[in-house]
């Protein structure tokens, strides 16, 4: 598989250095650039042919959430993973900005590498301790929905995604091919009226489907 070109944004030099070392230990990741502001990132990623941006939250000038929104507007295929020290405070706004994942600073490097791989696959890495917030958000939403419903397997797929499993792990657990799993995801998105896995999880919690 081709290498993934990653750009780092963090206003702490030591954190940028640590993230670079973690990513480069993952073999498939190549760090093509780094900056301490979102503004520099916005102008650099297109020129550098970036596949993924690892984004801090609080930055001088534009914050990580707004930067994510602008990056996704520029290139919908670009993967953006928020790496935050602030727990659930920015989780929902990051998902709404279309980030591919929301990870806490501080876990073991192996866990962070796995999270970045999940984001590259399109499976949102969200700290399992934070999924309760999505459930609380769900409690505030309406419960009545008409139209198509999810199959038992599609419910199971969503549960596995909310637990942080990768596509490969889900397909293996359900004894289905990757092609079948991709078709399941397309059908899930259509039923829930969403375009990606992070919003599928949030909407599934809102409807009390998982």
pLDDT at position 199: 76
> Do residues 20 and 91 both lie within one domain?
yes
Domain hosting residue 108, numbered range: 4-126
Q: Where is 43: in which H helix or E strand?
A: helix 38-48
**Are 55 and 35 within 8 A, CB to CB?**
no
- Are 88 and 10 contained in the same domain? yes
In angstroms, the CA 94 to CA 181 distance is 26
DSSP three-state, residue 81: strand
What is the CB neighbour count within 10 angstroms for residue 100? 28
158, 201 in Cβ contact below 8 A?
A: yes
Q: What is the mean pLDDT of residues 38-61?
A: 92
Q: Are residues 161 and 93 in the same domain?
A: no
| Over residues 56-69, mean pLDDT | 90
Query: What's residue 79's pLDDT?
Result: 93
**3-class SS of residue 103:** strand
In this prediction, residue 131 carries a pLDDT of: 59
Query: pLDDT, tens digit, for every residue of 120-177?
Result: 887 777 766 665 555 555 455 544 444 557 777 888 888 888 777 788 888 888 888 8
């Amino acid at each position: 598989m081709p290498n993934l070109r990653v750009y780092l944004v963090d206003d702490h030099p030591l954190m940028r250095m640590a993230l670079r070392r973690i990513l480069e230990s993952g073999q498939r990741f190549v760090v093509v650039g780094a900056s301490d502001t979102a503004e520099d990132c916005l102008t650099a990623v297109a020129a550098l042919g970036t596949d993924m941006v690892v984004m801090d939250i609080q930055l001088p000038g534009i914050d990580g959430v707004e930067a994510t929104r602008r990056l996704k507007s520029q290139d919908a295929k670009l993967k953006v993973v928020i790496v935050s020290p602030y727990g659930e405070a920015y989780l929902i706004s990051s998902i709404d900005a279309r980030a591919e994942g929301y990870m806490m600073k501080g876990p073991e490097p192996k866990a962070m590498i796995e999270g970045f791989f999940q984001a590259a696959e399109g499976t949102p890495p969200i700290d399992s301790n934070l999924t309760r917030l999505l459930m609380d958000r769900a409690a505030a939403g309406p419960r009545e929905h008409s139209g198509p419903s999810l199959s038992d397997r599609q419910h199971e797929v969503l549960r596995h995604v909310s637990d942080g499993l990768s596509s490969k792990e889900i397909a293996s657990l359900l004894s289905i091919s990757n092609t079948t799993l991709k078709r399941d995801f397309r059908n899930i998105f259509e039923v829930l009226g969403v375009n990606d896995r992070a919003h599928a999880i949030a909407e599934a919690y809102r409807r009390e489907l998982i």
